[in-house]
Structure 1
Amino acid sequence: MTLQRHDTQTRMSRAVIHDGIAYLCGQVAGPEAREGDIVEQTRSMLSRLDALLKEIGSDRQHMISATIYLKDGGDIAAMNEVWDAWVPEGHAPARTCVVAPMPAEELKVEITVTAAIKGS
């Protein structure tokens, strides 16, 4: 059994990799986009997700599952437009989308992803 923690802090690790599967912590919009609308926040969040996937040796094509948390269910259509353009055709992960409180008032969306490590 192999277990690797990536960027471990007091309360969490940014990713935990176990036998070639990466479990990522929730990703939110970066500080530059936190006052933006759902489209801007979703783009920022997915950009940050891309960076974390790359850091750990994975990418969009290797996503297994995604859970998307929305502050307002009315934002799902706009969020889905950004999501649909971002996910490579034929590589959609298993996905759940729920309405939930956010960890900070200005946040509108958060995502948690499980992904395979490339070559595993």
Structure 2
Amino acid sequence: MSIVRHESGSRMSQVVVHGGLVHVSGQVGRDGTEVGPQTRAALAEIDRLLALAGTDKSRILSATIWLADIADFAAMNAVWDAWVDPANPPARATGESRLAKPIYRVEIMVVAALP
């Protein structure tokens, strides 16, 4: 089985496709300092990367979400709920974690299936 990598650098790839699965690296929100705009930006980037790999959010199998402050859970969920395909919600876990930079409020990683 081949492994296809998209948008690779020396440290990581943004997307890795293998065995019918698309692994999207953790995407952070770079818009503003509030969790809502950051979540929207991260999800928009996930949409872009899934399309690059030949799939879309309706085929997401699992999502892992890290919040810098779990108090942002409801605000993040408001954006997530408006974005996620309601007919195909993935398995999901959310936790609190210190993120790579203090300005980041949210990081989201997904695994999706190819069509």
| TM-score normalized with structure 2 length | 0.95
Q: Say whether 1:92 aligns with 2:92.
A: no
Deviations 1:37-96 (A, max 9, x none): 111111111111111111111111010100000000000011001101101112110100
Q: Say whether 1:57 aligns with 2:85.
A: no
Structure 2: any 5+ residue segments left out of the alignment? none
Contact preservation (8 Å) 2:5, 2:16: yes
Alignment-mate amino acid for residue 14 of structure 2:
R
Distance 1:26 1:101 in 2: 14
**In structure 2, the residue corresponding to 1:26 is in which secondary structure?**
strand
Q: CA RMSD in A?
A: 0.9
**In structure 1, the residue corresponding to 2:86 is in which secondary structure?**
coil
Distance 2:52 2:5 in 1: 13
Moved over 6 A (4+): none
Q: How many residues align?
A: 115
Alignment-mate amino acid for residue 25 of structure 1:
S
Distance 2:114 2:65 in 1: 21
Q: Percent identity?
A: 41
**Aligned counterpart, 2:13:** 13
| TM-score normalized with structure 1 length | 0.91
Structure 1: any 5+ residue segments left out of the alignment? none
Shift in Å at residue 111 of structure 1?
0.4
Q: Say whether 1:25 aligns with 2:25.
A: yes
